[in-house]
Chain A
Amino acid sequence: AQSVTQLGSHVSVSEGALVLLRCNYSSSVPPYLFWYVQYPNQGLQLLLKYTTGATLVKGINGFEAEFKKSETSFHLTKPSAHMSDAAEYFCAVTRTLTGANNLFFGTGTRLTVIP
């Protein structure tokens, strides 16, 4: 069965500081991993995803994540936080459905950026 665990339901960083959001996964098969962001009163937007190949994945808005099989982790980072990064971030792993895929989401991490 596939699942993800996000460590820390709330993370606060100062503007300009490193952002690190943690995600560990459990999967019986090679995982496909996603990070989504949800701004207030908006839907989820894909930040980045890992399928196969390069383990360092670059996404939108300066975010990147590294797939580490040995640590079963897919942590999200950004070198310098911006006020506009304040949002809820969800890590997800997928399983196949008939012609579709099901995203198993973590419980989310709310990022606060302090001016």
Chain B
Amino acid sequence: DAMVIQNPRYQVTQFGKPVTLSCSQTLNHNVMYWYQQKSSQAPKLLFHYYDKDFNNEADTPDNFQSRRPNTSFCFLDIRSPGLGDAAMYLCATSGGQGGLWETQYFGPGTRLLVL
């Protein structure tokens, strides 16, 4: 089945130690998104890629970066994780036809714990 895969499902890192979360998709979608979801809060968009074009949300901290080496893979890099970065990170994709009605397909998420 076509899907969005996130690895690892759980990640523990130390304060200030760089960490990378990965996302892959078999849907061949143009757009890939990264959302941050803190406990009992709504998911919040960090950034997205439309093909190779990177688009950062204005309030996304500089500590968060992303890479998309090809259509299938996208990475979220946290350069110096702080305690406040502990959250669920959700990857999503959409076809990218530009419609507001497009469905986004989500992966299962990676739960990040910062010690």
A1 at the interface (CB under 8 A from B): no
Q: What's the count of A-B pairs with C-beta under 8 Å?
A: 80
Among A36, A44, A51, A90: residue with most chain B CB under 10 A = A44
Residues of A within 8 A of B103 (CB): 34, 46, 49
Chain B contact residues: helix, strand, loop or mixed? loop
Whether B106 and A105, one on each chain, are in contact in the complex, defined by CB atoms closer than 8 angstroms, is: no
Residues of B within 8 A of A97 (CB): 48, 50, 55
Among B4, B9, B94, B104: residue with most chain A CB under 10 A = B104
Once the chains are docked, how many angstroms separate the CA of A99 from the CA of B53? 10
B-side interface residues, number (CB < 8 Å) = 34
Whether A108 and B42, one on each chain, are in contact in the complex, defined by CB atoms closer than 8 angstroms, is: yes
Residues of A within 8 A of B108 (CB): 41-43
Residues of A within 8 A of B6 (CB): 43
Chain A residues packing against B (C-beta within 8 Å): 9, 32, 34, 36, 41-46, 49, 51, 90, 94-108
Chain B residues packing against A (C-beta within 8 Å): 4, 6, 9, 30-31, 33, 40-45, 48, 50-51, 53, 55, 57, 90, 92, 94, 96, 98-109
